[in-house]
Structure formats: structure tokens, C-alpha cells
Structure 1
Amino acid sequence: MCDMGGLDNLVANTAYLKAQGGDDKEMRKRRRSLSLPKPEQCAALRTSLEKEYESLCEKQPIGKKLFRQFLASNPEYTTANDFLDELHEWDLAEGAAKDKARQNIINKFCKADSKTFLSFLTGEAADKCKAVTDKDFQEVMMGKVKEGTVEFLKGKPFQEYMNSPFFDKFLQWKEYEKQPITEKYFYEFRTLGKGGFGEVCAVQVKNTGQMYACKKLDKKRLKKKHGEKMAMLEKKILEKVNSLFIVNLAYAYDTKTHLCLCMSLMNGGDLKQQWDPGTHQSKIDCKDSDLKGETAGTGAYMAPEILKDIPYRTSVDWWALGCSIYEMVAAYTPFKGPDAKKEKVAKEEVQRRICEEEVKYEHKNFDASTKDIINLFLKKKIEDRLGCKDDDPRKHEWFKSINFARLEAGVIEPPWVPKPNVVYAKDTGDIAEFSDIRGVELDAKDDKFFKEFSTGAVPIAWQQEMIESGLFDDLNDPNRKESAAGLDDEKKSGTCTLL
């Protein structure tokens, strides 16, 4: 007898993996129908857009790219830009390469007779630049000289940029960024998992081929469980964050039945699937979180101040990191213990242990350094906890093998990379379906909330997608020929789309 469940899973996986491989032929056809808004359509945006240097020229990928193209038109501006780039490369370099980069910067930018001397610097920054030595290089160049260079670019170059065709082009992209986002913007593929309010599925942007994980929140389920405030908070936090180390939000939109958050697709699946319990110790970089004002989180990782209703900020994140490090070594959390999988530990008992008991190290793989950092992260009092005393946890011995500058720049080779022909998710048949919600009706107040939630593309993630997919170069090509006819919305590629 044919295993229909297994066949459905195979078809879903095949379509999903094929989508990740891309379909360049269809993509080219679709892109020929695309075009940026005309410059005259951007007049209102030109007036309303906040003219802030960091946002326009550093944080937003397309803005940064176009600003750099503008700088290339002036030798002095190019020198300033090249200096900042080379200083960044020096900061990431190691060993002999770092020494060579330092000497090159001194000879190229700090010698008065050099063609690329930083002649735009004035006052103390100029004096320190001319007198810099190997010994004080980091203090001088990463301090006053870097600051002076950035201040220079914020002045005349920035003002000229905003009156240039490059800024006009940026406004066209910003207007394009505001396009309405609906479910028709994506192809939808297999279910990857489920959350409290709906499933998580893989989706693909039709015009770029970019894959995302789409978290779908059932509107009626959300209303029944009074989860609107939590959903909006999650969305607002995610759209403000841009990091290599957590999922980033790219789109927020709604369908007739769901609110949708499209986030980074982690092809490797759940972290717990990728370590060998009890033998592998992972090193994690932890970012500060936002202010908390209520009880939230997973019980086994909650800090004492949460349970005692004490106001808190990032202290709870350092506590949770300590719990996570412990779990990666022992394969169980510190306040549930090794027998938790055999016999469930009551919620109240876990909370009592968190508030009253010290951590026990029964597993053989805890070394001295690991025990020490866990103990410091799991201090009951906030003022005693690592990360809460104006200290830097990254300086602890446990992190000594990590170059954080290189890690944050994304240049360290990962120890494990997902295989391109493997789907790291449960079989579709093993992911339980949600039951229908009855007795809940949506009204005008709900519609207002859904509209506030559905803000479309998130600027940094969307702009990065435009650049990485090549669409930025395609639509900026002055020799590009556009086609008035696009692809039929219902036309599909060779991939199988499962709805």
C-alpha cells in the first residue's frame, strides 16, 4: 500500500529544496516587468524623509551603496571613504596581516607627502594623525582620526549627496520600498513548524527568489487568547533589530485569516538538533534585549527577578545565557535536572529552585572555565551577575577563542553548514494541525489593529534583499529594457507550490 503521508512529505521537501536552488529563467521574465517609481512620484517623500546621516548613509544598505557611489566622484571624498574601509579591515585582521595593514594605513593616510593624506582633518585629529606611531595606532586611529573622518563626511559631502542624482535614485528605491505587500508577493512552500498561534512555513519572494520563514498568526486564535499586544510587541522589536545572530524581520503583512511575519530562514533547523548532547560546548554571542515590564519567557530560563516581580532590564538575558550554556553541556536545564525527561518537574518546584538553590554540576563534561561563567551568569542578585556590573562578559576566559570583531562582521567560517539537499525540519505529517476557532467574530476594531500591524517591508532587510538578489543592479541599469507584460500571478515554475 502506498504511504500517502510519506509521499506528501517527499513532494513538499522536493519543492522546497528546488525553490532554494532558484529559477533564473522565470526570474528574468518576471523582472522585465518591474520598474522603479518615476522621480516626480517621490516629491512628498523628499520632503518628509528625515535627513539623518547615520540612517541614510550607514544603516540602510541601498543608501550606503549609493552614498559610496557618490563619494567616488570626488578624490578627497574617496580618500575618506577608503580610509574608513581600510581601518575596518585592519580591525578585523589578525597576526602578520594586521601588522601589514597598520603600516599601510600609516604610509598611505598619515604621511603629509602622500597623495592620499587625510588633508581634510583639522585641529587635534590632524595633529594626532601626523604623529601616530605603531604603539598608539589603535587609540589614535580608532579614536580622534576616525571620528574626524566621519564628521567630515557628515558635512559638505553629505549635503552635496542630497542634491545629487544618487540621492534621487535613493528616493526612488524608498518609494518602491513602500509598495503594498500581500500574500501574492510570495510563493508558499512546506510547513516548517508551529507556534502558539499558527504554523511557520517557508515562502519565497517571487521577484528576487529570497527564501523566508513565514510565521502565521491566526487572527481569530489571536483574538480569543488576547494575544494582540504580544504580537505587536514582537513585531515592533523584530523590525528594530538587525543582527547576524538572530532572525531578522523582512515583511509584516496580513491575509484574510492570518497576520504574517516573514523572517530569516534558518536552513539548519532547531539548534538542539545540531549538537551532540553532553559532549559539545557551543560558544554564543548574546545581544542585549529591550526593557521588560511583565512576566515573559520560558519557565526553565526565567531569572529570579522575573519570578519575584522585580523590575528588570537585560539582567534576565545574561541569566538565560547561563542556563543555555549549562544545557549545551548537560542536555538538560540547570533547575530541572537530569531526571526531568523521565519525571516531569512541577512548575512551582522549578521556580523554587531558581530562587533558592545553587546550581549543581552532575555531568562529567563541565570544566572549570564553563562552571565559572555559568556561576557568574546565574548569580541570584542582579548586582552580582556577570554582565550587570559595567563589565564585559566577552572578556571571560570561556570566550578566549573568539575574535568578536570578526564574529560580528560575519567573516569567521562557521563550524557547521547545513547541507543543501537536506530539509532540517519534522516531516509535514508529524506537525500537528490547528483546530478551527469557533465563536470568535472579527470587527472594525480588529481591522484597525490588523492595518497597524501590516506595515509591509522592513527597510534594512528589504534593501539587503534587493542588493543580494541582484534586483538593485537590474533596475539601476541605464541600458535595461523593460517589458510592459509581467507574468500571470497564477503561473508557476517547475516547483510545486503547496498551499
Structure 2
Amino acid sequence: MCDMGGLDNLIANTAYLQARKSGEGDTKEMQKRRKSLSLPKIEECKEHRESVAGDYDSICEQQPIGKKFFRDFLETVPEYLVARDFLDEVSNWELAEDNVKSSTMESIVTNFLKEGAKNYLSFMSSDLVSKCKAATAKDYENIMQLAKEETKVFFKDKPFQDFQKSPFYDKFIQWKVFEKQPVTEKYFSEFRVLGKGGFGEVCAIQVKNTGKMYACKKLDKKRLKKKSGEKMALLEKEILEKVNSPFIVTLAYAYETKTHLCLVMSLMNGGDLKYHIYNVGERGLEMKRIIFYSAQITCGILHLHSIKILYRDMKPENVLLDDNGNCRLSDLGLAVQVKEGKSITQRAGTNGYMAPEILKEEDYSYPVDWFAMGCSIYEMVAGRTPFKDYKEKVNKDEVRRRTLEDEVKFEHASFTEEAKDICRLFLAKKKEDRLGSRNEDDDPRKHSFFKTINFHRLEANLVDPPFVPDPSVVYAKDVADIADFSEVRGIEFDDKDKKFFKKFATGAVPIPWQEEIIETGLFDELNDPNRVVSGGYANGGEAKSGVCLLL
């Protein structure tokens, strides 16, 4: 007898894997669609020019398309080009391996900071010029950093003003208008369900115009209203919009359908760390993988804290691997904005990873994330959590007692001295004794556990992951094993609901959308002056002007 459930799963996985393979944009249908896209005419963008905030950091540093156009503009003025080349050289020095750093730094000082040099930075302050004249080798790093700061200040003044009057800025505005086109479900193709959350399922989707694959978290509107989850959903969405780190899942789009609110995020094909700890080979992970993942997770937590966000749900299950084996924090549903002068007391987190101050219902803040980090490193090494053995039947009260009272034991043979030490420091019962919280400059990245990690290179994605997931494997439950949601009845929407839906569905998120447009080649394609346009698709749907809906 034919197993229809198994057949459904095979068909769903095959379509999904095929879409992942063809994500480079080589399908005939997508090429046809792309030929029909066009940027709005410059004259149609004038009214939108005023709505773009003229902020140097946002346009020229953070937004990938703005950064590209600003770099191109700098090439047109010799003095500006020299300044750009200097910052590029400093960036290369920061990312260089230790054995070439000294010679690279000397070369930068000689070529840019010494009077008479061909590429001398003529805009330096008189104070810095004097320091450069008197500098010896031991001063080079200091004067280089000062020159870097002065170059950035220089760019914010006349170069940025000149850029805003140039054709390069006009082109940037065209892309900003194109970015703001409405996003609907017609923009995407949908594939198999990957999992489910409290308010709906998560499925794989693909952008029709670029081939880029994402995960779509679909929140059932009726279920949200019935469970009063609107505020929580909006908070998660707004926090995800603020995040910009390679170590945290990215929100690329927020849109609505008739029945759902949809969050489109990074698709992480490699499974979660909990799966890898318990389901692949022997329980636990190799130490080189533990150090690598812990370094990336630490960078992710530090980024959240830098923008005043407390994660509150750090655990291996919420750390996902991508195709290449890099990891990202996911599920920011429990994350909260830390407000100046306001304490947090609400109990939140997962049993076994919650810090003593949460369990005692005291005021708490950032140190709770570092406690959960300690629990997670311990679990990656030992294949069990620090306060509960693998498959041990123990109630929440006993886990609470152990967390508050028991000292952590390191019985597993894989614990190195550095691993024991970092776990002890992260798992300190008192928050003031905890690594990452002992003083203002207490940076966990400086611990000897991470002595093999070059964090500059790690953050620039220049460190090869120690493990690469198998691209032919779907690291998700079978389709038949993911339970369907029952229909919610008796819920009607009023004007207040519709206003909330509109507030939620804001379309493309600028930085991830621009990254997608560049990496999939659409940016170069639409900027080609010799390109012939055959019409315009609106949002990957019917053939219309790509921006006429907006204008």
C-alpha cells in the first residue's frame, strides 16, 4: 500500500531543494520577469526626495545601495578618492592576519600620513599633522586610528553635500522609490512548511524577481486577536527591524494577506544547534565547533545589548545554522527593549536556562543573557544542561532549586580548562560576578576560550566554519509530522484591527532588501544603461510598471 504521507513529504522536499538550488536566478521564468522590471524615472521621484532622511551614516555607511553609489561618487573627485582608498586600506589592515599587520600598517602611514606622500591626506587637522611628523613606529596605530576618525568626519561635510547634488544621489533616490513598492503574497512563491509557532506556521518562500529563498513566519490574524497577541507580534517585528548583525536572523519583509500577517526572515537550512547536539553522532559537539558557534553567538548577544535589547531566550534550540555552517540567533518573541531607569521583573525564558535573578523574581537586565550563554556552552560540550541530566525526569521546582543552590559539575571528558572557566564565569549565581557584567569593559570575547578566534575576521565573514551542513538534507520535521492548526471561529475584525494590520505590514526592510538586490545581480541589471525594458512586473505579479502602484 502506498504511503501517501511519505509521498507528500518527498514531493514537498524535492520542490524545496530544487528551489534552493535554482536560487541563483537562472530560471527562464525569472529572467523573463526581470526583463520586465524598471526603475521609476528621475522626474517621477522628486516628491519622494524630501521623504528620504539626509543622514550620512544611514545613507553612506549602513544602506548597501547608498554605500555603493557614494563610493562611485568619491571616484569622481581626486581628493575624495584618496580618502576612500585610505579607509579601505585601514579596513584591510583591521582584517589582516597577525603576521602581516605590522608591515601593512607601516605602508599605510608611509603612503597616506607622511608629508610629501603621493596620497597624502590634505584635510587632516594641524594637531594630527604634528603628531604624524613626530610619530615613530610605536605611535603608528594611534595616528592611523585618529586619521580614520578625521576622514569619516571629513566625508560627512562637503563630500556628502556634493554627493546629494550629484546624479549618483538621483540614482539612489530611484532605488529608494523602487524599494517602497507594495509587497503582497504575489511577490513570492511558497514551498513546504518548515515548522510551527504559537500563532501559525513557518514555511519556505522564494522571491520571484530575485530567486532569493527566505523563511516566512505566518501569523494567523484571527488567532492573534483571540489570544491578544498583537502587541507581542508587533514588538518582535519592530525589534527585528532594528537588528543588523550577521549573527541574528534578518527581517527582510513584513506584509499581510487576507488571513495572515507575514514576517519574511533569513532561511536557515542547516538545522538548530539542539538538533546537532542530540541527533547527529554522539551527544555534544566537537570543541572547535563549540568555540566557533559560541564566538558568533557572543557577537549576536553583544549586538542586541548595544541597541538596548535583552534577548531572554538564549538556548541551542534558538541558534540556527545556514547553508555554509554559520549560526544566527532566532526567535526574538521574548526579547524586550531595555528602557533607561525602568526595571524588568516579568518572568520570561526557558526552564533550565533562566538566571537566578529571574527565578527569584528580582529586577534583572543584560546579565541574564550571559547566564543562558553559559548553560548553552555547557550543553554543547556535555550533551546535557548544567542543572538537568539528559532525559532525566525532574520537575521545574527541582531545576529551580539546583540553579539557585548547586555548584556546576564538569564531569564530561570533553571539558577543557578554558571551557570550564568560561562556563563557571557565565554561570555565576550573582550577576555582578558574571562574565560580561562585572564592569563596563567586561567583554567575553577577551576570554582565553576564544584565543583562536580573530573577531574582526569573524564579523567580516572571513573565517571558514568548521562544519558545513549537507545541502541535500532537509533539516526539518516531515510535513505530516507538523500538526495543522484548527480554524479559529467567531472572530470579526473592526477598524482598530485593520489599522494594526496596516501598521504591521510595512513592506521591504531597507538594508536586507538592498543586500538581496545586490547579491542576486538585480542591482547591476537595472543600472545597466544599455538595458532594454519590455514592460514592468508589479511585485512579481502581473505585468505592470514596477512602481506605478506607488506613484
Q: TM-score, normalised by structure 2?
A: 0.85
Q: How does 1:86-235 map to 2 (within 5 A)?
A: 86-142=89-145, 144-235=146-237
> C-alpha deviations, 1:164-197, integer Å up to 9, x for none?
1111111111111111111110000011111121
**How big is the shift at 1:152?**
1.0
**How big is the shift at 1:412?**
0.5
2:283 corresponds, among 255, 277, 295, to 277
2:267 corresponds, among 252, 265, 268, to 265
> C-alpha deviations, 1:8-30, integer Å up to 9, x for none?
11111111111122233222210
C-alpha distance in structure 1 between counterparts of 2:32 and 2:215, whole Å: 25
2:411 corresponds, among 362, 378, 386, to 362
Is 1:425 the counterpart of 2:476 in the alignment? yes
What secondary structure is seen at the aligned counterpart in 1 of 2:252? Answer: strand
| Matched AA of 1:457 | A
Structure 1: gaps spanning 5 or more residues: 492-499
Alpha-carbon distance change, 356 to 79 in structure 1, aligned in 2, over 3 angstroms: same
What secondary structure is seen at the aligned counterpart in 2 of 1:374? Answer: helix
> C-alpha deviations, 1:174-226, integer Å up to 9, x for none?
11111111111000001111112111111000001110011111112222222
C-alpha distance in structure 2 between counterparts of 1:147 and 1:297, whole Å: 41
Query: More displaced, 221-230 or 42-51?
Result: 42-51
2:254 corresponds, among 233, 241, 252, to 252
Query: More displaced, 184-193 or 358-367?
Result: 358-367
2:359 corresponds, among 292, 307, 327, to 307
**How big is the shift at 1:141?**
0.9
**How big is the shift at 1:134?**
3.0
What secondary structure is seen at the aligned counterpart in 2 of 1:48? Answer: coil
1:403 corresponds, among 439, 450, 454, to 454
C-alpha distance in structure 1 between counterparts of 2:205 and 2:134, whole Å: 56
Alpha-carbon distance change, 279 to 39 in structure 1, aligned in 2, over 3 angstroms: closer
What secondary structure is seen at the aligned counterpart in 2 of 1:190? Answer: strand
2:381 corresponds, among 319, 329, 352, to 329
| Matched AA of 1:59 | Q
Is 1:450 the counterpart of 2:497 in the alignment? no
> C-alpha deviations, 1:437-466, integer Å up to 9, x for none?
233333222221111111111111001111
- 1:494 maps to none
C-alpha distance in structure 2 between counterparts of 1:490 and 1:342, whole Å: 57
- 1:379 maps to 428
- 2:322 maps to none
Is 1:24 the counterpart of 2:30 in the alignment? no
C-alpha distance in structure 2 between counterparts of 1:182 and 1:356, whole Å: 53
| Matched AA of 1:305 | E
**How big is the shift at 1:342?**
4.1
**How big is the shift at 1:485?**
6.1
Is 1:85 the counterpart of 2:88 in the alignment? yes
Alpha-carbon distance change, 122 to 490 in structure 1, aligned in 2, over 3 angstroms: closer
Alpha-carbon distance change, 100 to 55 in structure 1, aligned in 2, over 3 angstroms: same
Contact 1:250–1:461 (8 Å) recurs in 2: yes
Contact 2:63–2:514 (8 Å) recurs in 1: yes
Q: Percent identity?
A: 62
What secondary structure is seen at the aligned counterpart in 1 of 2:124? Answer: coil
Q: How does 1:473-492 map to 2 (within 5 A)?
A: 473-484=524-535, 486=537, 489=541
- 1:350 maps to 399
C-alpha distance in structure 2 between counterparts of 1:376 and 1:35, whole Å: 56
Query: More displaced, 321-330 or 116-125?
Result: 116-125
C-alpha distance in structure 2 between counterparts of 1:121 and 1:359, whole Å: 55
Query: More displaced, 177-186 or 16-25?
Result: 16-25
Query: More displaced, 383-392 or 458-467?
Result: 383-392
**How big is the shift at 1:348?**
2.5
C-alpha distance in structure 2 between counterparts of 1:430 and 1:308, whole Å: 38
What secondary structure is seen at the aligned counterpart in 2 of 1:203? Answer: strand
| Matched AA of 2:286 | H
> C-alpha deviations, 1:417-440, integer Å up to 9, x for none?
223322222221222222222333
Corresponding residue pairs, total: 487
Alpha-carbon distance change, 278 to 422 in structure 1, aligned in 2, over 3 angstroms: closer
> C-alpha deviations, 1:124-180, integer Å up to 9, x for none?
2223334444322222212x1111111111111000001111111111111111111
C-alpha distance in structure 2 between counterparts of 1:122 and 1:260, whole Å: 51
C-alpha distance in structure 1 between counterparts of 2:100 and 2:28, whole Å: 42
**How big is the shift at 1:123?**
2.0
Structure 2: gaps spanning 5 or more residues: 310-336, 339-343, 544-551
Moved over 6 A (4+): none
> C-alpha deviations, 1:10-61, integer Å up to 9, x for none?
1111111111222332222101111112223322332232211111100000
What secondary structure is seen at the aligned counterpart in 2 of 1:212? Answer: strand
- 1:316 maps to 368
C-alpha distance in structure 1 between counterparts of 2:356 and 2:434, whole Å: 12
- 1:13 maps to 13
What secondary structure is seen at the aligned counterpart in 2 of 1:68? Answer: helix
What secondary structure is seen at the aligned counterpart in 2 of 1:250? Answer: strand
C-alpha distance in structure 2 between counterparts of 1:258 and 1:98, whole Å: 52
Is 1:470 the counterpart of 2:521 in the alignment? yes
| Matched AA of 1:207 | N
What secondary structure is seen at the aligned counterpart in 1 of 2:352? Answer: helix
- 2:3 maps to 3
